[in-house]
Amino acid sequence: MKMKYILIVIVLLGSVFRLWGLSENPPHLTSDEAALGYNAYSILKTGRDEHGELFPIVFKSFGDWKPGLYVYLTVPFVATLGLTELAVRLPAAIAGVSAIVLLFLITHQLFDNKKVALFASFFLAISPWHIQFSRGAWEAGIALTLTLLGIYFFLLVVKGRPRMLIVAGLFFALTLWTYQGAKLATAVVGLGLLICFWKELSKVSLKILGKSLAIGFLVALPVLVGFWQGKTGRLEVYSIFSYRRPEDYVQAILGQERVSRDSWQYILYHSESLNFVRGILGRWFNYYSGRFLFFDGDWTNPRHAVPNSGNLLIIDSIMLVLGLFALSRVGAKKEALFVWFWIIFAPLPAALSRDSVHAIRTLNMVIPLTILLALGANAVWDQRKRVGKLLPVLLVVFSGIYIANYVYYLDQYWIHGPKRNSKYWQYGYKQMVEKLTPLQQKYDEIVVIQDYTQPYIFFLFYQKYDPVKYQGMVSQVYMPNKYGDVGLVSGLDNITFRDINWQDDRGMVGKLFVVDPIRVPIVDSSSPAEFKLVDQVNYLNGDVAFRILEILGEKR
């Protein structure tokens, strides 16, 4: 009973970290979040997505393709809370809280130790990595929770309840409905379970196996059909295999070696295959580096990390090492082998992509690492009798250091992060829409600087644009990219989204322009005789995000 109350406290703690100030931090909706929310709004109102497709399984978004489960999970929240930041982010936050309970259940099934399970749920509840992707509308967080559900029900099969395999197959299949990267991430987990628990799985009747495979396949089939139709989420763009070395680089190698492409020297030491292997392994090992785990996190994308903080706390490094020792002492038991397998292969989906590191594509890795932290903490706790009278002192010292480390993380997340990274969270578009909406009737045309941030989606979201109206015009305003990648929208009503040629545009008297200070420098647009600064939007650090300018002068 005591364990139950401790778990409740841990879940409440994790809920606070995931739900408190959810609308305000992250400091702004990204265009992807706004697209998820608006498509949920469109489905709610019309049964169709922004492009007019009736209840799609895979949603077209900015030329990309997104599995639609997150959109459908958002619909009831939009119905009850309106089209708001909170409604869009709540599915991910609730999934994040649910993961805390699921990890307790999974860890208890793996090690039959409630203390280890409680430690695991506690470390996940306060995990910077998991919190980061539970507080935004990240589809990967939903996929992770569904993966945990699949693992839990699979472990029930191992414990003698074979019919649970059908439920496990259902949840594993549903991960494909949430996130493109789940295809490989789910395969890694499934393969690990299959290898480590093959003996138990072989005892399941062929009838149950057949039903499990059939249900899993039928659930996954709509997404797999989309995959065959090319709705792959720009896998070509992100795959490391799409980026071969430049020809002049290869020719330089051939010249230095004085060999040809089919020579044994080139094949053995310089081939393209070897280059890809080096690239994949280099990325793979990045995920075990101190920089990624403890100091900088995802250093390639500020939206994926907290300033000056890793995906784990620095103090976690001690528990992580102790956890590795504790796991090794478990021996060759299948439960331990599964954790080892997951630790080793969790980075695979990200290692095959072009990015040096990517905290979203490796989000599943947070689970085996958290289990290691739990094993390390439990190993320390089991030694408390040997310490004797020093135990209170050591607990105070260690707890003090841990709390100080965590307060530092919270300070970075809540105080410094929003100010330093508001630009990367696309801050300013909501504020721009709020300032332009009352001005729309005063101008024949408002020109908003075009960008792959997709400014149109923020107008759809914050103006609660009529989905029927937009669906009727989308074929006229949507401009696909000639490369088949991300497309753009040219306008909504009297708002035009386009590139700015300031040399010509500065003479368009009577027009209202929304520009940024990079493409339209302030020094070149500040003359009071030529321009009226109607309003301005600043990032949270005070830098200028957008300037709203009216062109003055006499119309010809």
Tens digit of each residue's pLDDT (9 = 90 or more) over 443-497: 999 999 998 899 999 999 999 999 999 999 998 988 877 555 578 899 999 999 9
pLDDT tens digit sequence for 305-317? 999 999 999 999 9
List Cβ neighbours of 510 (8 Å cut-off, separation of 6 or more): 443, 444, 550, 551, 555
Question: What is the C-alpha to C-alpha distance for residues 298 and 357, in angstroms, rounded to an integer?
Answer: 6
Confidence of residue 556 (pLDDT cuts 50, 70, 90): very low
Q: What is the pTM for the complete model shown? A: 0.93
Question: What is the C-alpha to C-alpha distance for residues 99 and 93, in angstroms, rounded to an integer?
Answer: 10
pLDDT tens digit sequence for 158-181? 998 999 999 999 999 999 999 887
pLDDT tens digit sequence for 227-251? 666 555 555 556 666 667 777 877 7
Question: What is the C-alpha to C-alpha distance for residues 116 and 6, in angstroms, rounded to an integer?
Answer: 13
CB burial readout 188-199, b (16+ within 10 A) else e = bbbebbeebbee
Question: What is the C-alpha to C-alpha distance for residues 202 and 392, in angstroms, rounded to an integer?
Answer: 49
Backbone angles phi, psi at 171, to 5 degrees: -70, -40
Confidence of residue 297 (pLDDT cuts 50, 70, 90): very high
Residue type, 301: N
Residue type, 151: I
Where helices occur in 47-177 by DSSP H, the ranges are: 69-81, 85-111, 114-125, 128-132, 139-158, 164-174
Whether the ω angle into residue 480 lies within 30 degrees of 0, i.e. cis, is no
pLDDT at 535 over 90: yes
Question: What is the C-alpha to C-alpha distance for residues 311 and 297, in angstroms, rounded to an integer?
Answer: 5
Question: What is the C-alpha to C-alpha distance for residues 468 and 52, in angstroms, rounded to an integer?
Answer: 8
Question: What is the C-alpha to C-alpha distance for residues 251 and 547, in angstroms, rounded to an integer?
Answer: 49
Other C-beta atoms lying within 10 Å of the C-beta of residue 257: 13
User: Which of 198, 240, 191, 145 lies closest to 345, judged by CA?
Assistant: 191
Where helices occur in 161-205 by DSSP H, the ranges are: 164-174, 182-196, 198-201
Q: Check residue 28 and give its pLDDT.
A: 96
Residues paired with 285 in a beta bridge: none
Q: Check residue 220 and give its pLDDT.
A: 86
256 class by beta-carbon count within 10 Å (0-12 exposed, 13-18 middle, 19+ buried): exposed
**Maximum mean pLDDT: which of 91-105, 293-307, 504-518:** 91-105
146-157 average pLDDT score: 97
